[in-house]
Amino acid sequence: MNPALASLHPYPFERLRALLAGAQPPADLPHIGLSIGEPKHPPASLVLQAMATELQTLGTYPSTQGVPQFRQVVAQWLTRRFALAPGALDPETMVLPVNGTREALFAFVQTVIDGARAPVVVMPNPFYQIYEGAALLAGAEPYFMPSTAPDDYLPDLDAVPEAIWRRCQLLFLCSPGNPTGTVASLEYLQRALELARRYDFVIACDECYSEIYFDEAAAPPGLLQAAQAAGHSAFERCVVFHSLSKRSSVPGLRSGFVAGDAQLIKAFLLYRTYHGCAMSVHTQLVSIPAWRDEAHVIENRRLYRQKFATVVPILQSVLPVDMPRASFYLWPRVTDDERFTRELFERQHLTVLPGSYLGREIPGGNPGRGRVRISLVASVSECVTAAERIREYVRGMER
């Protein structure tokens, strides 16, 4: 067996199952799940319509690089969305289809880490669990930067010791962030780029929530945009990860892409060729209309905006909770996150996720402790019912 498997931590949802085992929720209250970040809005209809066409492509093996039309549409979308210089992003050498960002985040780490040089992978804390698992399986040591409220939940890059930067081979950023909903500014991303240049490491920016934000006039910036602004015109050392899962509410489609530095994409293509994770041509063709169209994404954001506007005031009457800058998560403070989660399940038949399960112990404590993650993915009416039940539970605790 690969001994690194033993270093993996139990996945948060496994821990949640154990926490709730044996609990007896009231049978008359229908269960509402708020723990998983799985979009529940209707899947984009233009994706569903396209599913029925091009079925004959299932008769061919897909190439790992993907079909040119897919890569071209992605390059056009990135150029439009992040105001890149026309032609700066070459669809031939700078874009690859991936089966959702999850597998790509994992596989990318295996591609870039040189295990012989005592590698470190720097990442936020709390964080999307794949970053750590991928680092451990690549033989790297994770280094955790706390994402906490005093800094608007943005990890302080300048607090990382120089000895860590010297060993860092890969920096993970997540913007908009899961679970905090923080958004990195262009200046923040440029500071990361300065460090990457100085210490010669790669930045993997997980931007899978980039299209879920609340102010139509303030779309979150991206790493490629920051690279361009900093004069890294070939996106040196940068790779971004995007997906249709949240943008178009199709998490089951498994459709995403990576884009950035051509040298890194070339190495990643080589790795993926052997890994055998080409996206089916059918999925690529079905994805094209979803990257071309913004109307369905604007409508998706409208639903989230409406939901947050209704739910947040209900919760704010009983819990310290801020409106996030982006994403579909709330990250309220609670006294004891495990107890809160278990009691909420037992008394109100609601599932949330203890924040400590998304974080790691570091000096100063686990920055997820004393928080719960609430995914506002269900319908507006279900989320309002859930918020009312949370209010009732918290009021009951106070009595």
Ligand X SMILES: Cc1ncc(COP(=O)(O)O)c(C=O)c1O
Are 297 and 248 in contact by the 8 Å Cβ rule? The answer is: yes
Query: What kind and span of H or E run contains 186?
Result: helix 186-199
Residue placing its CB nearer to ligand X in the complex, 91 or 251? 251
DSSP string, 54-92: SGGGGGSPPPTT--HHHHHHHHHHHHHHTTPPTT-S-TT
206 binds ligand X (CB under 6 A): yes
Spatial CB neighbours of 170, under 8 Å, sequence gap ≥ 6? 109, 112, 113, 119, 121, 122, 135, 140, 201, 202, 203, 204
In this structure, are residues 374 and 181 in contact, taking their beta carbons and an 8 Å threshold?
Answer: no
Number of residues that bind ligand X (CB under 6 A): 13
**Residue number with CB closer to ligand X (359 or 393):** 359
Question: CA-CA distance, 317 to 331, in Å (whole number)?
Answer: 15
Per-residue contact track with ligand X, 211 to 250, x per CB under 6 A? --------------------------------x-x-----
CB of 26 to ligand X, least distance (A): 29
Asked if 283 touches ligand X (CB under 6 A), the answer is no
Q: Give how far Cα 292 sits from Cα of 64, 65, 178, Å.
A: 22, 20, 26
Residue of this chain nearest to ligand X (CB atom): 100
Interaction of residue 100 with ligand X, rule CB under 6 A:
yes
Nearer to ligand X, 71 or 373 (CB): 373
Q: Does 182 bind ligand X (CB under 6 A)?
A: no
- Residue 174 engages ligand X in binding (rule: CB under 6 A): yes
Is residue 331 close enough to count as binding ligand X by CB under 6 A? Answer: no
- Our finding on whether 178 is near ligand X (CB under 6 A) is yes
One of 35, 64, 101, 385 touching ligand X (CB under 6 A): 101
In the stretch 248-277, what mask flags binding to ligand X with x, by CB under 6 A?
---x----x---------------------
Q: Does 208 bind ligand X (CB under 6 A)?
A: yes
Is the distance from CB of 144 to CB of 164 less than 8 angstroms? no
Q: In the bound complex, what is the minimum distance in angstroms from residue 186's beta carbon to ligand X?
A: 20
Q: Which stretch binds ligand X (CB under 6 A): 98-106, 226-234, 365-373, 390-398?
A: 98-106
- The string of DSSP letters for 283-335 reads HHHHHHHHHH--HHHHHHHHHHHHHHHHHHHHHHTTS--PPPSBSSEE--B-S
Please, which residue, 230 or 278, has the CB nearer to ligand X? 278
- Footprint (CB under 6 A) of ligand X, residues 7-66: 37
Determine if 207 is a binding residue for ligand X (CB under 6 A). no
- DSSP code of residue 217: T
Provide, rounded to whole angstroms, the least separation between the CB of residue 245 and ligand X. Answer: 3
Gyration radius from the chain CA atoms: 21
Q: 10 Å Cβ neighbour count for 378?
A: 19
3-class DSSP state of 137: helix
**Structure tokens belonging to residue 11:** 């996945």
In the complex, minimum distance from the CB of residue 204 to ligand X, in angstroms, rounded to a whole number: 11
Q: Considering the complex, state which of residue 64 and residue 178 has its C-beta at the smaller distance from ligand X.
A: 178
Q: Which residue ranges make up the site for ligand X (CB under 6 A)?
A: 37, 100-102, 128, 174, 178, 206, 208, 243, 245, 251, 256
